[in-house]
C-alpha cells in the first residue's frame, strides 16, 4: 500500500512539473498580448466582450485604478449574487421548489463565492436551485479565479517594468484569464468528467426507496460543468454537501486524479509565467522549488499521520490499514492525504474525505497549509502573489543581516514596500485569530460545536482559517449556518481577500515606478538553493510565530490526549 501511495504522489507531481513550462509560457503570451494558437478562434470573443463593456485594450491603469476596478466589480457581482439567492424561489430552473436563502446565509454565500472562498454553510442539494448554482455561483467560479490571476500578473508587472505608474488593465487581464485559460480548459475537463460518470442534467431529483423502506431524494443537476471550474479555479464549492467525496462529483480514481491535477496546474504554471515576464525563468523556478518543498513537507506529515492511524482503534484490528474513518474506500489513505494537502495548499477547499475525521496531526497539516497565507502554490493567482509577498520579506530580512538595502529582481525594497507587505501579513493573522478568539468564549457560538475540548477549538480555528485564507474547506463538525458564523465568517473572507490584495497592488505600483538596478557583488542571489531555503524558512517562521500558540491548544493537545490514553 505504501508503494502504491508513493507512486500516486510521484505521478501527480511529475505531471505538474511537465505542465508548468508549456502552460506558463502560454499564459505569459496571453497576458503580454502575444498571439497564441487559440487566438484565431477566441480573439473575436475577447474583442466582443471589450466592445460590449466599453473596455479599451490599450488603456492601462495605475494601481489605484486597478484596485478600484477590482473592488467595484467584486461589489456589484456580490450584490447581484445576494439578490439571486434571496429570490431564487421565484426564478426559473428550480424543479424542487427550493426556498429563498435567509439574509445572513445569502450574505455569507455571496461573500464566499466573490472572494474565491466557496465556504458553504448550507446543504447545496436543498438550499440552492439550478439557477442559483449556475448564474449565481458557477459564474463566480470564473470571475473570482480570473480576478486572482489578474492581481498576480499586475504584481509581476511591478517587478518587470520600470519608470512607469501603469501596471496593466484589470478588465483586460480578467477577460483574457477567462477567455484563453479558464474557459477552454474547463470545457475539456467537463467532457472528461462526464466520461467518468459525473452527471450533467437538469432533471428533477430522483426518488428512491431504501431497503429500510424510507424514501430518499437523490440529487441531480449540471454537476460536470461546475465541477470543472470548481477545481481549475481553485474554488472548491461542491454541488453536493459531500463535495468530491460524492460519487456524482468524483466517481472514479481517474476523475479524482484529474481533480487533484487541475487544482495545482495553474498556480504551478504561474511561477513560470512570472519568470518569463521578468525575463529570467530561473526566478520562477526558485519560487516553484520553495512551494514544492513546503508541499512535500506537509504531505509527508499528513500521509504519515493518516497511515499510522489511531492507536485507540488497534483493538479492532484496523490500525494496519491506517485511519480510514471519513475516507472513501475507492480512494484510500494515499489519495485522500494527497487531495487534502493539495486542496489546502492551493486554497481550493474541495474535499474527497472529511478532515474532521483525520487524526489530530493529520488535521493540523491542512490548517497550517492555509495559515501560511496561500504561499504553497495557493489559489489561481493568489499563490503567486502570496509567495512574492514572502519573497519581499525574505530579501528584506537578508538585507538586515548583511547591513545593506535589500533588492529583488533589480528593484530596491524600501520602507513603503515592507510596510505594505507586513500589513498584508497582519491582515491574514488578525482575520483568523481575532474572530476565533471571540467565538471560543461566545456561548451561543459554542452551542454549534459537535465536539468539546481541544477538538472543538480546532473546529473553530479551522473555520476562520479556511475563511480568511479563502479556502472554503471545513472540519465538518461545526454547524455554521447560524447568524453569528454566517456574518463573522463572511467578514473574515472579505478581509482575507481584499485587505491582502490592495496592499500588494500598492507594492506593484511602487515597484513599477522604480528603475532597474544592475546586480553587484553584494546582491543576494535569488535563483539558487540558498534563497529557496531562506524563503521556505521565512514562510514557516512567520506562520509558526503567529499561529503556534493557538495550534498548541487545539490539534497538538488532542494528539497527546490520543496517544496518552
Angstrom distance (rounded) from CA 479 to CA 450: 8
Looking at residue 438, what is its pLDDT?
A: 94
Beta bridge partners of 222: 200
Which pLDDT tens digit goes with each residue over 2-33? 777 889 999 999 999 999 999 999 999 999 99
Angstrom distance (rounded) from CA 561 to CA 565: 6
Count of beta carbons in the 10 Å neighbourhood of residue 457 = 22
The mean pLDDT of 417-436, rounded to a whole number, is 92
Angstrom distance (rounded) from CA 271 to CA 291: 10
Angstrom distance (rounded) from CA 553 to CA 460: 12
Which pLDDT tens digit goes with each residue over 97-127? 999 999 999 999 999 999 999 999 999 988 9
Which pLDDT tens digit goes with each residue over 379-403? 999 999 999 999 999 999 988 887 7
Instruction: Give how far the C-alpha of residue 322 lies from the chain's centroid of Cα atoms, to the nearest Å.
Output: 28
The helix (run of H) or strand (run of E) holding residue 546 is helix 529-551
With left for phi above 0 and alpha for psi between -120 and 50, is residue 286 left, alpha or beta?
A: alpha
The three-state secondary structure class of 120 is coil
Residue of 411, 249, 208 lying closest to 331 (CA atoms):
249
Give helix 103-114 / helix 483-512 axis angle, nearest 10°.
30
Residue of 314, 310, 366, 302 lying closest to 562 (CA atoms):
310
Which pLDDT tens digit goes with each residue over 443-454? 888 888 888 889
Q: What is the DSSP string of 150-219?
A: HHHHHHHHHHH--S-S----HHHHHHHIIIIIIHHHHHHHHHHHHHHT--B--PPPEEEE-TTS-EEEE-
**What Å distances lie between residue 116 and 84, 396, 474, CA to CA?**
18, 30, 15
Looking at residue 317, what is its pLDDT?
A: 59
Q: Where are the beta strands (DSSP E) in 319-455?
A: 407-408, 411-412
Looking at residue 1, what is its pLDDT?
A: 57
Looking at residue 255, what is its pLDDT?
A: 95
Percent of the chain topping pLDDT 90: 71
Label residue 319 by pLDDT band (50, 70, 90).
Answer: low
Query: What does the domain layout of the chain look like in residue ranges?
Result: 2-203+216-279, 283-564
Taking the C-alpha atoms of 99, 101, 103 and 108 in order, what is their torsion angle to the nearest 10 degrees? 180
Looking at residue 321, what is its pLDDT?
A: 66
Give 342's DSSP letter: H
C-alpha cell of residue 308: 499510522
Which pLDDT tens digit goes with each residue over 128-158? 999 999 888 989 999 999 999 999 999 999 9
Angstrom distance (rounded) from CA 465 to CA 82: 24
Looking at residue 314, what is its pLDDT?
A: 65
C-alpha cell of residue 455: 477538538
With left for phi above 0 and alpha for psi between -120 and 50, is residue 470 left, alpha or beta?
A: left
C-alpha cell of residue 331: 480512494
The three-state secondary structure class of 443 is helix
C-alpha cell of residue 261: 491535477
Query: Backbone phi, then psi, for 353, in 5-degree steps?
Result: -155, 165
Which pLDDT tens digit goes with each residue over 345-362? 998 989 999 988 899 999
Looking at residue 375, what is its pLDDT?
A: 86
- On the question of pLDDT at 315 being above 70, the answer is no
The helix (run of H) or strand (run of E) holding residue 320 is none
- On the question of pLDDT at 562 being above 90, the answer is no
Which pLDDT tens digit goes with each residue over 540-552? 998 878 899 899 9
Taking the C-alpha atoms of 431, 434, 436 and 441 in order, what is their torsion angle to the nearest 10 degrees? -160
The mean pLDDT of 234-258, rounded to a whole number, is 92
C-alpha cell of residue 243: 463535495
Angstrom distance (rounded) from CA 232 to CA 343: 11
Looking at residue 49, what is its pLDDT?
A: 96
Cβ atoms 114, 144 nearer than 8 A: yes
The three-state secondary structure class of 438 is helix
Q: Of 215-219, 322-326, 383-387, give the range with the top mean pLDDT.
A: 383-387
- Show the 3-state SS of 233-271: CCCCCCCCCCHHHCCCCCCCHHHHHHHHHHHHHHHHHHH
The three-state secondary structure class of 504 is helix
- On the question of pLDDT at 248 being above 90, the answer is yes
Residue of 404, 374, 370 lying closest to 520 (CA atoms):
404
Q: Calculate the average pLDDT of the chain.
A: 92
- On the question of pLDDT at 310 being above 80, the answer is no
Which pLDDT tens digit goes with each residue over 36-46? 999 999 999 99
Looking at residue 565, what is its pLDDT?
A: 59
Q: What is the pTM of this model?
A: 0.94
The mean pLDDT of 470-498, rounded to a whole number, is 92
- On the question of pLDDT at 311 being above 90, the answer is no
Angle, alpha carbons 409-411-413 (nearest 5°): 110
Beta bridge partners of 200: 222
Query: Backbone phi, then psi, for 159, in 5-degree steps?
Result: -80, -35
Looking at residue 563, what is its pLDDT?
A: 81
Which pLDDT tens digit goes with each residue over 69-101? 999 999 999 999 999 999 999 999 998 899 999
Amino acid at each position: 500500500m505504501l508503494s502504491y501511495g508513493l507512486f500516486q504522489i510521484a505521478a501527480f507531481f511529475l505531471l505538474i512539473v511537465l505542465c508548468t513550462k508549456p502552460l506558463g509560457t502560454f499564459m505569459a503570451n496571453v497576458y503580454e498580448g502575444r498571439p497564441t494558437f487559440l487566438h484565431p478562434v477566441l480573439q473575436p470573443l475577447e474583442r466582443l466582450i471589450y466592445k460590449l463593456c466599453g473596455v479599451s485594450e490599450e488603456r492601462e491603469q495605475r494601481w489605484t485604478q486597478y484596485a478600484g476596478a477590482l473592488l467595484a466589480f467584486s461589489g456589484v457581482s456580490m450584490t447581484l449574487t445576494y439578490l439571486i439567492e434571496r429570490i431564487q424561489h421565484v426564478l426559473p430552473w428550480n424543479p424542487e421548489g427550493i426556498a429563498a436563502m435567509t439574509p445572513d446565509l445569502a450574505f455569507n454565500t455571496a461573500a464566499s463565492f466573490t472572494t474565491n472562498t466557496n465556504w458553504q454553510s448550507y446543504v447545496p442539494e436543498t438550499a440552492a436551485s439550478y439557477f442559483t448554482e449556475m448564474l449565481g455561483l458557477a459564474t463566480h467560479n470564473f470571475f473570482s479565479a480570473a480576478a486572482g490571476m489578474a492581481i498576480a500578473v499586475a504584481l509581476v508587472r511591478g517587478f518587470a517594468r520600470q519608470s512607469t505608474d501603469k501596471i496593466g488593465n484589470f478588465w483586460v487581464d480578467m477577460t483574457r484569464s477567462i477567455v484563453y485559460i479558464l474557459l477552454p480548459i474547463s470545457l475539456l475537463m467537463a467532457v472528461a468528467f462526464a466520461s467518468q460518470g459525473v452527471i450533467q442534467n437538469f432533471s428533477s431529483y430522483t426518488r428512491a426507496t431504501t431497503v429500510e423502506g424510507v424514501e430518499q431524494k437523490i440529487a441531480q443537476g449540471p454537476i460536470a460543468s461546475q465541477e470543472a471550474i470548481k477545481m481549475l479555479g481553485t474554488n472548491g464549492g461542491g454541488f453536493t454537501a459531500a463535495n468530491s467525496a460524492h460519487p456524482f462529483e468524483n466517481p472514479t480514481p481517474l476523475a479524482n486524479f484529474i481533480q487533484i491535477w487541475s487544482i495545482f496546474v495553474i498556480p504551478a504554471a504561474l511561477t513560470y509565467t512570472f519568470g518569463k515576464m521578468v525575463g529570467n525563468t530561473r526566478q520562477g523556478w526558485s519560487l516553484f522549488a520553495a512551494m514544492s518543498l513546503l508541499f512535500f513537507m506537509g504531505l509527508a506529515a499528513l500521509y504519515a499521520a493518516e497511515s499510522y492511524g489511531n492507536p485507540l482503534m488497534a483493538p479492532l484490528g484496523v490500525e494496519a490499514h491506517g485511519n480510514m474513518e471519513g475516507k472513501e474506500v475507492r480512494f484510500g489513505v494515499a489519495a485522500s492525504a494527497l487531495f487534502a494537502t493539495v486542496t489546502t495548499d492551493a486554497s481550493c477547499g474541495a474535499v474527497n474525505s472529511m478532515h474532521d475525521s483525520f487524526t489530530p496531526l493529520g488535521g493540523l497539516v491542512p490548517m497550517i497549509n492555509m495559515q501560511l497565507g496561500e504561499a504553497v502554490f495557493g489559489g489561481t493567482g493568489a499563490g503567486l502573489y502570496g509567495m512574492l509577498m514572502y519573497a519581499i520579506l525574505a530579501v528584506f530580512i537578508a538585507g538586515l543581516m548583511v547591513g545593506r538595502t535589500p533588492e529583488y529582481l533589480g528593484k530596491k525594497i524600501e520602507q513603503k514596500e515592507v510596510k505594505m507587505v507586513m500589513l498584508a501579513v497582519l491582515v491574514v493573522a488578525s482575520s483568523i485569530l481575532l474572530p476565533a478568539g471571540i467565538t471560543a468564549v461566545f456561548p451561543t457560538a459554542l452551542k454549534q460545536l459537535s465536539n468539546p475540548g481541544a477538538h472543538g477549538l480546532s473546529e473553530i480555528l479551522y473555520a476562520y482559517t479556511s475563511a480568511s485564507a479563502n479556502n472554503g474547506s471545513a472540519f465538518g463538525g461545526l454547524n455554521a449556518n447560524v447568524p453569528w458564523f454566517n456574518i463573522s465568517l463572511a467578514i473574515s473572507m472579505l478581509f482575507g481577500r481584499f485587505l491582502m490584495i490592495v496592499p500588494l497592488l500598492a507594492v506593484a505600483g511602487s515597484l513599477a515606478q522604480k528603475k532597474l538596478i544592475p546586480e553587484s557583488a553584494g546582491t543576494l542571489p535569488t535563483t539558487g538553493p540558498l534563497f529557496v531555503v531562506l524563503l521556505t524558512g521565512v514562510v514557516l517562521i512567520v506562520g509558526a510565530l503567529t499561529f503556534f500558540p493557538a495550534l498548541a491548544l487545539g490539534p497538538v493537545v488532542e494528539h497527546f490526549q490520543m496517544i496518552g490514553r
